[in-house]
Amino acid sequence: MTDHVFGGVSSPVLLELCLLLRGFFGDADPVHEVDRLADEDLYRHITFAASQRHSGGAFTARRAPELDRIAAAVLRRVSTGPLSATSPRSPQARYALDALPSAVTLSDRPLPDDKPLGALWTSSFLPDGTSMWQWGEWGEFGHDRPLFALTFDPAAVTPYAIGSPADYERLVNRYPRPTNTYVQVDWRRAAADLDAVHLTVAGLLTAQHVPVTTRCGTAMLTGWDAESTAWLRLPPGLEATPVVPPAR
């Protein structure tokens, strides 16, 4: 059983990515071609695969053994290099009309997706300076919001990394909040212990839209759609600098 399989099913983001790569490479073997892609190109394919949840088609965890070789190659690729970070690196990228809020105020109102309402959201920079949230930003908000680089001392923060379905399951079990549908994370309780929750590239590929069984019922991480960090508290000494994004 490989890391992208959890409870006998495969994650829809990884499955969509494997199908995309199989078509993109044509007659070439995707298992060998994945390593030839630049980090920026591979990550752009990943975010496109994640965006397929909005396409109206089936986007569910399911078995697809015919794609296992491609999936294993992708997961090996993102386990090293710039796409392998397991904690938020300084600086972080933030698209916003304001450089920084004065504080983070989390709401206790649950959302349809399991994500903290009121958090400060950032993403990492790719090697060429592109924000990992860039394509999501353009798709959701257009090109009007400015980009900032947020610097902080990583040693001064306590993040929690979601790099697998098991990581998400542990977070829900630690801070459960039952709703009428799925069990979610009680983000305000989590903020008492954690500065931030970081969804890694591997976590985006393997954990999003994968149901997990917790002690309070079934939970499912949805709606993050990119490598990203939800800051539940502002780290000390946080500073923001305007950034000119790479040309479109």
Query: Residues 186-206: pLDDT tens digits?
Result: 999 999 999 999 999 999 999
Mean predicted lDDT score pLDDT of the chain: 92
CA dist 35 to 21, 47, 75, 224, Å? 12, 18, 11, 26
What's the predicted TM-score (pTM) here? 0.94
SS3 230: strand
> Residue 180: pLDDT band by 50, 70, 90 thresholds?
confident
Q: Which two tokens stand for residue 139?
A: 């798709």
The answer to whether residue 2 scores a pLDDT higher than 80 is no
pLDDT at 241: 96
In sequence order, the β-bridge partners of residue 183 are 178, 219
Amino acid identity for residue 19 in this structure: L
**Phi then psi dihedrals of residue 240, to 5 deg:** -125, 135
Structural element, H or E, at residue 162: strand 159-162
Strands 147-151 and 159-162: unpaired
DSSP designation for 13: H
